[in-house]
Amino acid sequence: MSIPGFILRNALRNKRRLALTVSSVALSLFLLTALQVVLRGLTDPTSTDEAALRIVVRHKVSLANMLFAKNKSRIERMPGVKACTKLLWFGGIYQDEKNFFPQFACDAGDLFKVMTDAQIDATDLDHFIRTRTACVVGRKTMERFHWRRGQKITLMGAMWPCNPELEVVGAFTGGVDESSLYFHHEYFDELLGTPGITGLFWVRAESAQAVPGLIERIDAEFANSDAETITETEHAFQIGFASLLGNLKLLVGSISTVIVFTLVLVTGGTMSMAVRERVREIAILKAIGFGGSQVVALILAESFGLAMTGALLGCAGAWAALRAVDLYKVSRGLFVNFDLTPQILARSLAVAALLGLLSCLLPALSSVKRSVVDGLRTVD
Please indicate, yes or no, whether residues 278 and 215 belong to a single structural domain of this protein.
no
Q: Are 121 and 110 in contact (CB under 8 A)?
A: no
Does residue 270 share a domain with residue 361?
A: yes
Look at residue 53 and tell me if it is in a domain: no
What pLDDT score does 14 carry? 66
Same domain for 220 and 275, yes or no, is no
- Structurally, how many domains does the chain consist of? 2
Same domain assignment for residues 142 and 37:
no
Is 297 within a domain?
yes
Residue 333's SS3 state is coil
Q: What is the mean pLDDT of residues 124-143?
A: 94
- Segment among 214-218, 287-291, 338-342 with least mean pLDDT: 287-291
- With CA atoms as reference, report the closest residue to 315 among 347, 270, 267, 271: 347
Model pLDDT, residue 12: 60
Find the helix or strand (DSSP H, E) in which 165 lies: strand 165-174
Which whole number is the average pLDDT over 278-296?
68
The answer to the question of residue 51 being in a domain is no
152, part of any domain:
yes
Q: How many helices (H) and strands (E) does the chain have?
A: 16, 12
Residue 252 and residue 110 share a domain: no
Is residue 330 domain-shared with residue 190, that is, in the same domain? no
Which of 158, 192, 227 terminates a domain? The answer is 227
Residues 67 and 212 in one domain: yes
In a domain, 251, yes or no: yes
Q: Among the ranges 81-90, 97-106, 315-324, 366-375, which has the highest mean pLDDT value?
A: 81-90
Q: How far apart are CA 143 and CA 179, in angstroms?
A: 10
End residue of a domain, out of 164, 193, 227? 227
Whole-number percent of the chain with pLDDT over 90: 36
Q: Residue 263: is its pLDDT beyond 80?
A: no
Q: What angle do CA 17, 20, 22 make, to 5 degrees?
A: 105
Do 140 and 169 belong together in one domain? yes
**Domain shared by 82 and 127, yes or no:** yes
Domain match, 278 and 192 both = no
pLDDT at 327: 63
Q: Is residue 237 in some structural domain?
A: no
pLDDT (0 to 100) of residue 330: 58
Is residue 279 in some structural domain?
yes
Average pLDDT across the chain, whole number = 82
Q: Say whether 134 sits in a helix, a strand or coil.
A: strand
Higher-pLDDT residue of 303, 220 = 220
pLDDT, residue 243, reads: 58
| Its pTM surpasses 0.95 | no
Q: Can you give the residue range of the structural domain that contains 66? A: 61-227
Q: Between these two residues, 193 and 183, which has the higher pLDDT value?
A: 183
**pLDDT above 60: residue 335:** no
Does residue 259 lie in a domain region? yes
